[in-house]
Structure 1
Amino acid sequence: MKKFLLFLSTPLALLPAMQAHAQSADDDDVIVVATGVAQLASEAGRSVTVLDRETIETRQKVSLSDLLATTTGVGVTRNGGPGAVTAVRIRGAEDAQTLVLIDGVRVNDPSSPGGAYDFGNLLTGPVERVEVLRGPNSVAWGSQAIGGVVNVVTETPTDGFHARANAEYGYADQVSTNATIMGGSSDIQGALTGGYFRTDGISQAASGTEADGYRQYGASGRLKARITPNLRAELRGYWADSKLELDGFPAPTYAFADTEEYSTAQELYGYAGLTGDFGPTTHRIGFSIADINRDNYDPTVSAAPLYLYRGRSEHYSYQGQIGAPMARLVIGADQDNQRFYDGAATFSANITSVYGEAIVTPMMGLAITAGVRNDDHSGFGGHVTWGANVAYSPMPGTRLHASYGEGFKAPTLYQLYAPYYGTATLEPETADSWEVGARQDLVDGKLSLGATWFQRDTTNQIDFDSVTYTYANIARTRAEGVELEVEIRPNDRLTFTGNYTYTDAENRSAGYVGNDLARRPKDIASVSADWESPFGLKLGGTVSIVGDSYDNAANTTRLDGYALASIRAEMPLTDRIAIYGRVENLTDEDYEVVSGYSTYGRAAYAGVRLRLD
């Protein structure tokens, strides 16, 4: 932290010549993550961050988690270099309590112990838009939405012909390439994206000397067709094949060190749906599938996988909307079938759900949303959650919001049925959350300030019981804090954004009462500035500041805080071609986010971007 002032001054010194993008959703943004249906952000009494394609390209981030790490209320840790296990925690919740959707498909891994989604394999190449909901919302999304929801949308096809591509090279022999083509007419539209990424990486073990590389092939596609004037069909698909070199715990010392181990992952997500408009009602039926295969290898032991995990989810859904003056009613039903195979046995569970929401706008500037949901799990029965929120704009440029939300997380198949460790009688984890906030625009919209207070209590949290060596409902936690945001736009070419989150994430479990939750720093901040010249040159910088934290529940292993600075530039060569580059960890800060694991030092990258419209 001794370089804090230098880091902080980097983008501020460039401020007279920079521009950045807002993070919290603007009032006229259309979002779906708050209620499960499209609505204006001004109608949602929830905290939502929106990251669009322009932001992704401006920040030049390759891993989506690196971009999420600069957003309000989000903490990210990664066990090594690119591709390594990456956890995203929202407002101090566990990473397994974040529900992740890619093109509407629930992609949390049912074969992992906690059911968390590993963000290590999620790259930004095919991503068009990301919505981050902060706080529980099981009414709209069901199980797992205790900490929040991350909704990732890949390139959406439009009329006409459009294409984009980029290629970059940099530190650790890193190569990243992506290309997207899309087009169509008013009746049928399609988009296809393909990408390749590789890097020599760094040693996962901080004590190691052998670099651990990473490679991924990926593709995504979407097809939309109008069957009749009132009926539309859509297909979506996402595929990624990844390989990551690992470090392990070799004999005779069994200390974390260089090894020849590696892991592979194949992810396949798909969706098929029909949407019909009939008078004041809209109806949608859909089917989605998430198939995740993970294998771990140690060539010094066997050519066959030492461990293999097969997770599969099949989701059937119906959603109906009924519109009326000043009100909208949403009703729905879901069937979620999950399966987990560990190489020896197959385990499965089903959740059947029904829900309803009402979005009411009784007067100009006021929106009230309330809903209830029942989830019936094949193993432990039914569970009811409800929530309500209000958004009020008493005058232009002012928005007040408040919400109460409940979240629940069903025990994972691993926690229920894993040999030796599973407990079939587990209860679901539950959470209650409150938030109150305000946003105010000043100086004719050139200055925007936002503040939100939040509190979440989680009970029946499932953890590994070191006494019985099984999973049990033994954990309780509370997270409360404040989020502050600022955006300054003195003119059309210059923008400054900043956010700060204070989170007191307290462990209230027996034996740990009063301790901080592991890897949950109390203080996280990010400031960015970007500017675009009259002839197209773009310059920018970001400083991310993370406070001290602990690596373990006992709070005996401390992780020192750190600050990271990055600078970036982009220059158009023609109206279709631009070159760009960035330097990350500008001051070569030495830091840890997970004890014993390496992090990148100073690294530089350069690339070229092509766009056809």
Structure 2
Amino acid sequence: MKKTTLDTIISTVVGSSIFLPLYAQAQDVASSSAQATDVMLVTAIKRTDPVTNLVTPIVEITKQDILASQANTLAEVLRQLPGVQLSSNGGYNQPSRIYVRGSSDVVILFNGVRLGSATLGYSDISQLPLAGIEKIEYLRGSRAAVYGADASAGVINIMTRGNNQETTGSVQATGGSNGYQSYTASTFMVPSDKAWLNITAQYQHSDGYNVATFGDDDRDGLENNNFVADWGVQLDPNWLIRMNGYYHQGQTEYDYNPAWGASADQNKTDNYSMNGQVIYTTERFVSNLTLGNSQDKSKTQHNVPSSQTVTQRQQVTWRNNYQFTKVNSVGFGAEYINDDVGDSDTIYDVKERDNKAAYLTLGHDGEVVQLEGSVRFDDNEQFGDKTTWQLGTGWQFVEALRLTANVGTGFKAPTFNQLYYPGFANPNLQPEESTNYEVALEGEHIFLNWRFAGFYNDVDNRISCQSAFSTCTNNNLIIQGVEWVGSFNTGLLSHQVSLEYLDPEDKDTGKDAIRIARDNFKWQVGYQADSWQANISYLYQGKRYDSGDVRLDGYSLVNLAASYKLTRQWVLSARIDNLLDADYETAATYVQPERSYYGSIAYQF
């Protein structure tokens, strides 16, 4: 009998979730093609897959997991995942960046459509709303051969709610330390048996605290307005039309170093992503045409004339999967992305570029052997043609054990800032090229489910920037390491543990890559009985270097969360972050929040 090792690990790493069969991009369409015990995922190789045949590890975070954690931000959810490290210039809404297995080459998707800034080169996760999110899929390992640039380390796909055939809603109010306030209202309407509309609105405010050790000693507060919507209509058993998106408007205060001279100390953001999808599904075939439009807009102001940076992104994606036998499938598709920074105040020598791509995937889901492969061809307007590929295999050599192996290549083009920003540009930068290897052993036992992996990532022409105001250069980097992920139960308590050791060495200097800790340990314990639910999480990250020879100390975080269901509709919740009041930084001179308290009340209908 085929074992479901990955399925078990997925469900236990982030908490006790109940999975139902669904297409992540076309829910409740042609469900007869899946067994009721399978999780249907699309992130791994842009096809609809049960997790049992995935070779690369993938984690599903459900809405129930998010509610149990009582997280206020996406960063708080992601930081507990295996392989994830974060760097942030302070607390809520301050610029934040995610690393997976020591690499920042991580693609963030919203309902399958790429997010991010063409000037920064990554998606600032502090600006992505958590409210209204139904599920997050997190894949660690190379997927550049399917998702292109920036997917050499992993993929994070944030998804909104589809049709559940039931009208529901909720309102929630949260208050906490540093004057934090959050008010959220959500409604899911089913006007007919073939259509739905899901709307979530949220307001956030915080007086903040002094996030930097330099500059003014005033509080650095925030104010956010978030809106998430999802609409769909089932035209017939095969055709589905769906539209979804989010809008984020925020203002964040921050500090600047007087040594820099006059500088702004406020940042206004105006971001959105809108997607339209036409999906055709039969028992063996799925086709999805997606049109996407997104904006990443940041405007700095106060003390000096305002300055704005804007990325307008147009994206067209066509992806298909055909299961031609019970265990074999083929996927194929094409993608077009256009990035335009012409509305920015900064004068860039080049203001627009596009990327065209086509890909092909093959999969075999045998009882004993699983195989997957993909190849992608990119035509980048600025840097020319590039072909990337990925191969993976799994071998169920005994009932409780499986051996897997993966190898994949990737590339990453320099950003507009890195190439053209006045005073800091390096127009001679070359694209990064990487080769990523992984070997893993998975075990499923009565008392313990686990996965042990070793990985090696060889990056040539890595684009290295010591700070936001320094000229970037190309160097060479090797990131190698091992990780162990496991889950087990002790009575009413569920445990999820991950350990990771990294060696992120710059081959040119012999130094560690900046802001990457070698030692990482995470432990989550959950309890649920009757009307009570409680969670405790522990996170340790070791010492790491920042720019130059600045060394950041290691730190430990303990967070507590508990909730009590007063009635079927009313829920009370409380949370303590940084219980031990650790003093720590994830970016030099930017202080993270001290011990913080939060409470909330929610009504569900």
What is the TM-score normalised by the length of structure 2?
0.89
Match of 1:530 in 2: 526
User: Could you tell me which amino acid in structure 1 is paired with residue 182 of structure 2?
Assistant: S
List per-residue Cα deviations over 1:305-341 (Å, max 9, x = no partner). Answer: 1x21010111112122222112111111111111113
List per-residue Cα deviations over 1:432-463 (Å, max 9, x = no partner). Answer: 111111221222xx421221111111112223
Match of 1:12 in 2: none
Match of 1:15 in 2: none
1:217 is matched with which residue: 198, 220, 225?
A: 225
Instruction: Check if 1:484 corresponds to 2:487.
Output: no
Match of 1:295 in 2: 299
How many Å separate the matches in 2 of 1:38 and 1:427? 35
How many Å separate the matches in 1 of 2:472 and 2:590? 27
Match of 1:457 in 2: 458
2:554 is matched with which residue: 551, 556, 561?
A: 561
1:387 is matched with which residue: 385, 390, 403?
A: 390
- Aligned pairs for 1:308-327 within 5 A: 308-325=308-325, 326-327=327-328
- Aligned pairs for 1:256-405 within 5 A: 261-277=265-281, 280-298=284-302, 300-302=303-305, 305=306, 307-325=307-325, 326-341=327-342, 342-343=344-345, 345=347, 347-361=351-365, 363-405=366-408
Report the CA distance shift for 1:322/1:247 in structure 2 as closer, same or farther (over 3 A): same
Match of 2:544 in 1: 549
Match of 2:197 in 1: 190
Q: For CA contacts below 8 A with separation 6 or more, give which structure has more relative contact order.
A: 1
List per-residue Cα deviations over 1:33-53 (Å, max 9, x = no partner). Answer: 210122112211102222111
Query: How many residues align structurally?
Result: 570
Contact 1:70 1:525 in 2 (8 A): no
How many Å separate the matches in 2 of 1:225 and 1:391? 38
Instruction: Check if 1:579 corresponds to 2:582.
Output: no
How many Å separate the matches in 1 of 2:427 and 2:264? 36
1:81 is matched with which residue: 91, 94, 104?
A: 91
List per-residue Cα deviations over 1:52-94 (Å, max 9, x = no partner). Answer: 1111111111111122111111101111110001111010013
User: Could you tell me which amino acid in structure 1 is paired with residue 443 of structure 2?
Assistant: Q
Mean Cα deviation higher: 198-207 or 390-399? 390-399
Report the CA distance shift for 1:529/1:480 in structure 2 as closer, same or farther (over 3 A): same
Match of 1:506 in 2: 505
2:74 is matched with which residue: 64, 67, 73?
A: 64
How many Å separate the matches in 2 of 1:367 and 1:611? 43
Match of 1:42 in 2: 52
Mean Cα deviation higher: 231-240 or 29-38? 29-38
Match of 2:588 in 1: 595
How many Å separate the matches in 2 of 1:279 and 1:156? 20
Contact 2:162 2:232 in 1 (8 A): no
Instruction: Check if 1:52 corresponds to 2:62.
Output: yes
Deviation at 1:565, TM superposition (A): 0.9
Match of 1:13 in 2: none
Match of 1:110 in 2: 118
How many Å separate the matches in 2 of 1:230 and 1:329? 20
Instruction: Check if 1:518 corresponds to 2:514.
Output: yes
User: Could you tell me which amino acid in structure 2 is paired with residue 243 of structure 1?
Assistant: Q
1:92 is matched with which residue: 94, 97, 102?
A: 102
Report the CA distance shift for 1:610/1:37 in structure 2 as closer, same or farther (over 3 A): farther
User: Could you tell me which amino acid in structure 1 is paired with residue 354 of structure 2?
Assistant: N
Contact 1:417 1:424 in 2 (8 A): yes
List per-residue Cα deviations over 1:494-553 (Å, max 9, x = no partner). Answer: 2011111111111123xx2x11111101011111112123x311222111111111112x
Deviation at 1:471, TM superposition (A): 4.5
List per-residue Cα deviations over 1:390-423 (Å, max 9, x = no partner). Answer: 2333455433322111121122233334345445
Deviation at 1:464, TM superposition (A): 5.1
Deviation at 1:136, TM superposition (A): 2.1
User: Could you tell me which amino acid in structure 1 is paired with residue 476 of structure 2?
Assistant: R
Match of 1:205 in 2: 212
How many Å separate the matches in 2 of 1:437 and 1:506? 22
Deviation at 1:470, TM superposition (A): 5.3
Match of 1:247 in 2: 255
Deviation at 1:169, TM superposition (A): 0.4
Contact 2:43 2:157 in 1 (8 A): yes
Match of 2:29 in 1: none
User: Could you tell me which amino acid in structure 2 is paired with residue 92 of structure 1?
Assistant: G
Q: Secondary structure at the match of 2:92?
A: coil
Q: How much identity, in percent, do the aligned residues show?
A: 22
Report the CA distance shift for 1:423/1:540 in structure 2 as closer, same or farther (over 3 A): closer
Deviation at 1:360, TM superposition (A): 1.5
Mean Cα deviation higher: 29-38 or 237-246? 29-38
Match of 1:410 in 2: 413
Match of 1:497 in 2: 496
User: Could you tell me which amino acid in structure 2 is paired with residue 451 of structure 1?
Assistant: F
Q: Secondary structure at the match of 1:57?
A: helix
Structure 1 runs of 4+ off > 6 angstroms? none
Match of 2:160 in 1: 154
User: Could you tell me which amino acid in structure 2 is paired with residue 594 of structure 1?
Assistant: A
How many Å separate the matches in 2 of 1:87 and 1:568? 25
Contact 2:46 2:319 in 1 (8 A): no
Contact 2:88 2:96 in 1 (8 A): yes
List per-residue Cα deviations over 1:147-181 (Å, max 9, x = no partner). Answer: 21111112333212122332210100101222221
Match of 2:237 in 1: 229
Deviation at 1:222, TM superposition (A): 1.0
Unaligned runs of 5+ in 2: 1-12, 21-36
List per-residue Cα deviations over 1:337-371 (Å, max 9, x = no partner). Answer: 1111331546011111011001122x324321111
Contact 1:348 1:413 in 2 (8 A): no
Deviation at 1:249, TM superposition (A): 1.9
User: Could you tell me which amino acid in structure 1 is paired with residue 316 of structure 2?
Assistant: Y
How many Å separate the matches in 2 of 1:66 and 1:410? 29
How many Å separate the matches in 1 of 2:430 and 2:140? 24
Q: Secondary structure at the match of 2:419?
A: helix
Unaligned runs of 5+ in 1: 1-18
Match of 2:475 in 1: 475
Deviation at 1:140, TM superposition (A): 1.3
Report the CA distance shift for 1:558/1:531 in structure 2 as closer, same or farther (over 3 A): same
Deviation at 1:31, TM superposition (A): 2.1
Report the CA distance shift for 1:495/1:279 in structure 2 as closer, same or farther (over 3 A): closer
How many Å separate the matches in 1 of 2:589 and 2:47? 43
Contact 2:46 2:331 in 1 (8 A): no
User: Could you tell me which amino acid in structure 2 is paired with residue 81 of structure 1?
Assistant: G
1:435 is matched with which residue: 434, 438, 450?
A: 438
Deviation at 1:379, TM superposition (A): 1.2
List per-residue Cα deviations over 1:98-156 (Å, max 9, x = no partner). Answer: 111112221111122xx111111224222211111112211210111122111111233
Q: Secondary structure at the match of 2:255?
A: strand
User: Could you tell me which amino acid in structure 2 is paired with residue 120 of structure 1?
Assistant: S
Contact 1:416 1:424 in 2 (8 A): yes
Q: Secondary structure at the match of 1:247?
A: coil
Q: Secondary structure at the match of 1:160?
A: coil
